[in-house]
Amino acid sequence: MSRVYRSFILPESMRTTREFMDVGLRTTTRVLVGADDPILRPEFVHGHESHVDDLTIDYMPNAGHFLVDDRPDEVITHALDLFQK
């Protein structure tokens, strides 16, 4: 899995980020981050607020990188809250 991440996921996510950096995001955007995530650090998540019209970043306690596995109840709660608005 780490090979897929290094050779495909990471380069493609960086390319996509660069490509759309000047466009901005107009949709309501919610980012859920595991508070114990060793990969997705706060400096990767913050700093994009000026490119998004409506951005909320929530840190989930007792969760790592795979939120759905660690805290499925909280992911469902956040999704329902977002889609009910």
Contact at 8 Å (CB) between 37 and 45?
Answer: no
CA distance 33 to 57: 7
Q: Sorting pLDDT into bands at 50, 70 and 90, what band is 70?
A: very high
Domain ranges of the chain: 24-83
Task: Average the pLDDT over 20-40 and give the result.
Answer: 87
pLDDT at 3 over 90: no
pLDDT at 85 over 80: no
pLDDT at 11 over 80: yes
Phi/psi at 72 (5° precision)? -60, -35
Mean pLDDT for all residues in the chain: 85
Closest listed residue to residue 82, CA positions, set 52, 63, 55, 49? 55
Q: Sorting pLDDT into bands at 50, 70 and 90, what band is 27?
A: confident
